[in-house]
């Protein structure tokens, strides 16, 4: 069973993502900010991280940079998830180490296709 860490400060988004991902047979964990997510990855790296951009405590971008510098036993794929649809944001995220991105609001088909692109569904 593949594992996904859903990182978003919105409880509603986490719930929606969890529902979709469990329907795709993922084992799902949640984190409410980048710091919680980093701790979760250091404790046990997931196969894939679904990552929000704007969060308190530690943003998605700061998390991404910290994740790529951390020495983990396995390197999670990162699907960056955002409402910021400017190409500059997407480019910055890819440069910081994101593997793919998905625009909010996303549905099951969209998320599944992005997970397929990174080899996770
Ligand atoms: Mg947010």
Q: Is residue 43 a contact partner of residue 87, using CB atoms and an 8 Å limit? A: no
CA of 118 to the centre of ligand 1 (A): 23
CA of 84 to the centre of ligand 1 (A): 11
Nearest-angstrom CA–CA distance, 53 and 111: 16
Domain 3-117 belongs in CATH node 3.40.50.2300: yes
Q: Residue ranges per domain, the chain?
A: 3-117
Which range is least confidently modeled, 31-35, 52-56, 85-89, 96-100?
Answer: 85-89
What was the pLDDT predicted at 84?
A: 62
CA of 75 to the centre of ligand 1 (A): 23
pTM attached to this predicted model? 0.95
One-letter-per-residue 3-state SS of the chain? CCEEEEECCCHHHHHHHHHHHHHCCCEEEEECCHHHHHHHHHHCCCCEEEEECCCCCCCHHHHHHHHHHCCCCCCCEEEEEECCCCHHHHHHHHHCCCCEEEECCCCHHHHHHHHHHCCCC
* Buried residues in 12-44 as b, exposed as e (16+ CB within 10 A): ebbebbbebbeeeebebbbbbbbbbbbebbeee
CA of 53 to the centre of ligand 1 (A): 6
What average pLDDT does this structure show over 45-73? 94
């Amino acid at each position: 069973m593949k594992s996904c860490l859903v990182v978003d400060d919105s409880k509603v988004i986490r719930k929606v993502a969890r529902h979709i991902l469990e329907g795709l047979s993922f084992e799902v964990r949640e984190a409410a900010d980048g710091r919680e997510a980093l701790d979760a990855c250091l404790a046990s790296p997931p196969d894939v991280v679904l990552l929000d951009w704007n969060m308190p405590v530690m943003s998605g971008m700061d998390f991404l940079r910290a994740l790529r510098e951390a020495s983990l036993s396995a390197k999670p794929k990162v699907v960056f998830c955002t409402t910021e649809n400017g190409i500059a944001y997407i480019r910055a995220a890819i440069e910081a180490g994101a593997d793919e991105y998905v625009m909010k609001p996303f549905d099951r088909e969209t998320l599944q296709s992005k997970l397929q692109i990174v080899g996770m569904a």
